[in-house]
Amino acid sequence: MTHRRLARLLKTSSVFFLALLISTGLLSAQQLKLQVLGTTDLHGHVLPQDTYSLQPENKGWAKLATLIRQAKAENPNTLLIDSGDTIQGEPINYVRTRLRPDLPEPSIAVMNALGYSAMAIGNHDFNWGLDVLRAVEKQASFPFLSANTVAAKGGKGVFTPWTKVNIGGVNVIIVGFTTPGIPRWEEPGNYAGMAFRDIVESARTLIPHLREKEKADVIIVTMHSGLGTLPGEVGDDNCALRLADQVPGIDLILTGHTHLPISSQQKGTPILQAAAHGRALAMADLTLQKIQGRWRVLSRQGRLVYPTAETPQDAQVLELTAALRSATETYLNTGATNLLTDLDGRWCRLEDTPLMQVLHTVQRQATGAQLSAVSWTSARIFIPAGPTSIRQFYALEPYENQVARIRITGKQLRAYLEFAARAYNFSHEPDLFNKAVAFYDVDQIDGCAYALDLSQPVGTRVKNLSFHGQPVREEQSFTLALSTYRLRGGGGYIDAIGFTGQPELITTQLARNLLFSYVLSHPTLAMAPVNAWRTIPALDRERVMQQAR
C-alpha cells in the first residue's frame, strides 16, 4: 500500500469515526431523565413524632423534605407533585384555621419552599369550607388541580384542571382529579354548587385533547383517589386501576386518599402512592428520547423511598412552621380533667369500655338521642388515669365532624349492627378482624343491649337485641346519634339500613369541641362501662391486643 493510499484511508476513517462520535453525542444530547416525586395525605404532619403520645415516628414534612432535597440534588430535572388531603388533619391545621389565620398554612408554606408544581384537591381539603380552601389556594405558588369538579349548573370547571410545565425542553402536563365521593365525605355547605364527575369518564376526553391539541410530551395524573379494583364502576371513590386500564396516553399516575403505600402498574402505566403522613415518598424515573422532533417516553420505573431514624430534619421546614407549632403546643397542653380510670382504645373491639362511654355520653347529651353510634378508636389510644390535657382527648375526635340525630326503626337498628359485625371474621379463625374494614368504619351502639355471635355468618350475628329490657320490635322507633360522616354515607351504614330520611338535628359545634366542653366541665371524671353488648364466644384479650389496629 502506497503512502498516498494509506493517508487517504486514514483520512476517510477519521471522518467516519468523527461522524460517529458526533452522531453519538447528538443522540446522547437528545435523551433526558425526568424524575417525578409524589407526596399525598400529609394531613398537616410536620414533625417525626406522634402528636398525641409524642413518641418518635419516621414521618412528617421535616424528614420528607430532606429526602426531597436529596433527590432533587441528584437530578435537577425533577417535578414535585402532591395528591391532596394536605390542609386538614393535625391539630396544627385546626389552630391555624380557627385560631391563627394570620399565620401561613404550614404545608403550603413548606411546598412553596420545596418548589412543588401542582397539587390535586382532596376531600378533606374541603373540610374548612370553600372560602378557606380558596384563601389557601392563593397562598400557593402552584395550582390546585381538579379536572372533574364542575359547577352543578352548566358543568363549567370550578378549579384549574391541568397545568403545563416545561422541564429540560420537555412539555409535561399534570392533570388533577378529586374523588367523586366528596358528597359522602363532606358537609354539603362545603361544596355547595359543585358536582363531581367520574374520573375515568372525565379523562376519556381530556387526555386525548392534551396529547393532540396541547402537544403534551408527557402526561402525569395526580388524583385524590386510590387504587380501586377492576373492572370497577362509574363513580368509584378509588379508580386508579380503572383509569390506567381504560384510558391510554397516561405516562404516570400518582394516587392518594387510601393512605396505603402503593407501587403498582396497569398496562405498563406505573401507579404510585406515597404512604400517608409523610411515611414514604413516591419516586418515578422516566427516560425520554427526542425522535423526529418529538419527545417519546422510552421507559418508566417507580418505587417508594422511606425516611428512617437516621434521616435528619429539614431546617427550613422547622423554621417555616415554628410559630404555628408553638401556638399549637400551647393549645394542646391546656389542662382537661382528672381521670379516675384509664381510657384504653384496645378493648372497644370486644366490649363496652370507659373510653367509648365518654364518646357515647357526649353524643347523647348533645342530641338528646336514645341511642348513640360511635366507631372504634385506634387501638393505639391510651389515656391513663390522672391529670389529662386537651392533647389526649383530641386524638379521640381528629376529624371535622358534627353530630346528627336521626330516627330509625327497630329493623334498621338490627341492620346497622349486622353491618358493623362484618368487621369480625368467624371466631374460630386465626385472624379476628376483617382487614377489608377500616377500624373507623366499625360502630358499636349504646343505649340498647345485644350480643354478636361470631360463630354465625355475617347478616345473622345480632342476638338478644333489647331496649330497656324488652325485645326490640321491627316497627319500633328510636332516635340515634351518629357522626355527620356516617349521615353522609361514610362507611356505608346509611345505605345498609336503607335510611332515606332527613336528620332531626345537627349540632352546630364539632364533635371534638363537644367532647372538650364535656371534659372541661368535669374537674374529675369517672366513666363506668354499661356492659350492654358482648361477643359470643367472648374474644380472647391476648389475641385482641396482638391484632387490634
Domains and CATH numbers, the chain: 30-326 (3.60.21.10), 333-547 (3.90.780.10)
pLDDT score for 8: 56
* C-alpha radius of gyration, the chain, whole number: 28
pTM of the complete model: 0.89
- CA count, 13 A, side-chain hemisphere, 17: 6
Instruction: Give the sign of the dihedral formed by CA 449, CA 423, CA 403, CA 330.
Output: positive
Instruction: Compute how many other C-beta atoms are within 10 angstroms of the C-beta atom of residue 503.
Output: 16
> Distance (Å, rounded) from C-alpha 365 to C-alpha 56?
37
pLDDT tens per residue, the chain (549 residues)?
555 554 554 454 444 443 444 344 444 448 999 999 999 999 999 999 999 999 999 999 999 999 999 999 999 999 999 999 999 999 999 999 999 999 999 999 999 999 999 999 999 999 999 999 999 999 999 999 999 999 999 999 999 999 999 999 999 999 999 999 998 888 889 999 999 999 999 999 999 999 999 999 999 999 999 999 999 999 999 999 999 999 999 999 999 999 999 999 999 999 999 999 999 999 999 999 999 889 999 999 999 999 999 999 999 999 999 999 999 999 999 999 999 999 999 899 989 999 999 999 999 999 999 999 999 999 889 999 999 999 999 999 999 999 999 999 999 999 999 999 999 999 999 999 999 999 999 999 999 999 999 999 999 999 999 999 999 999 999 999 999 999 999 999 999 999 999 999 999 999 999 999 999 999 999 999 998 999 999 888 888 888 887
447: left (phi over 0), alpha (psi -120 to 50) or beta: left
- CA count, 13 A, side-chain hemisphere, 43: 22
- CA count, 13 A, side-chain hemisphere, 202: 26
Q: Are 409 and 477 in contact (CB under 8 A)?
A: yes
> Distance (Å, rounded) from C-alpha 479 to C-alpha 485?
17
> Distance (Å, rounded) from C-alpha 300 to C-alpha 527?
57
Q: 354548587: which residue's cell?
A: 193
pLDDT score for 4: 56
- Under 8 Å CB-to-CB from 542, ≥6 apart: which residues? none
> Distance (Å, rounded) from C-alpha 118 to C-alpha 174?
7
As given in the structure block, the three cell numbers for residue 536 are 359470643
pLDDT score for 337: 97
420 in helix, strand or coil?
helix
Q: Write the single-letter amino acid at 422.
A: R
> Distance (Å, rounded) from C-alpha 376 to C-alpha 420?
10
CA distances from 384 to 337, 339, 341 (A): 12, 8, 7
pLDDT score for 547: 85
311 in helix, strand or coil?
coil
pLDDT score for 16: 46
> Distance (Å, rounded) from C-alpha 348 to C-alpha 376?
6
